[in-house]
Amino acid sequence: MRGAFVMLRKRYGDWLLAALAAGAVAGTVMANLLEPQLREQAAGMGSLLAGSVYGNGSRLELMRAAALQRLGETVLLWGAGLTAAARPLCCLLAAYLGCSAAVVLSVLTCEKGMMGLAVYLATVLPQAACYLPVWLFLAGAAGRRMRIPIRYVLAGAVLLAAGIWCEGVISPWLLRGLLRR
């Protein structure tokens, strides 16, 4: 009984991490239960990425899709941080991030076996290095009702642009190198 009360006294960062982990577990379970349907849904984005990797598709189209997705996620996180329920909403978004990451990793592992982890890292890691600082800053500022200095907004915009560029150029280049072997 005492353990339940200890969790209530944890800091906000601990709650975010717990939500991310719970989302990852839920995403893994969901991917294993719904694997055939998830493969079909993943084929759309996979074909866009494959077109960019193998040269018969447009990198510009991949970057446009990435820009719409990531800017939408960032605006959603920023907007959630302005509400009265900012911190619980940010925990919900962290659970969504964990769930999404786990589903993608599970589908890639089902399709490519052990090579799925390398493909996942090549697909996610370059841009994650750019997106995570922005998203962690916005999640940390959630509920504080503070004005964000313009230099932080500009730095965030530069990091988002760099992440979108990584998603459209670096990740396909890494995948091309991995998948040719």
Answer whether residue 2 is part of any domain: no
Answer whether residue 100 is part of any domain: yes
pLDDT surpassing 80 at residue 7: no
- The number of domains in the chain is 1
Averaged pLDDT for residues 60-73: 87
pLDDT surpassing 80 at residue 42: no
pLDDT surpassing 80 at residue 74: yes
Answer whether residue 5 is part of any domain: no
Tell me the longest C-alpha to C-alpha distance in the chain.
Answer: 59
Tell me the C-alpha distance between 134 and 130, whole Å.
7
Q: Which amino acid is at 45?
A: M
Structure confidence at residue 1 (pLDDT): 46
Tell me the C-alpha distance between 80 and 84, whole Å.
9
Tell me the C-alpha distance between 92 and 96, whole Å.
6
Enclosing domain of residue 23: 10-179
Answer whether residue 4 is part of any domain: no
Answer whether residue 19 is part of any domain: yes
pLDDT surpassing 50 at residue 174: yes
Answer whether residue 1 is part of any domain: no
Q: What is the pTM of this model?
A: 0.77
Answer whether residue 168 is part of any domain: yes
Answer whether residue 144 is part of any domain: yes
For 120-157, write each residue's pLDDT tens digit: 888 888 999 999 999 888 888 887 777 788 898 899 99
Averaged pLDDT for residues 97-116: 86
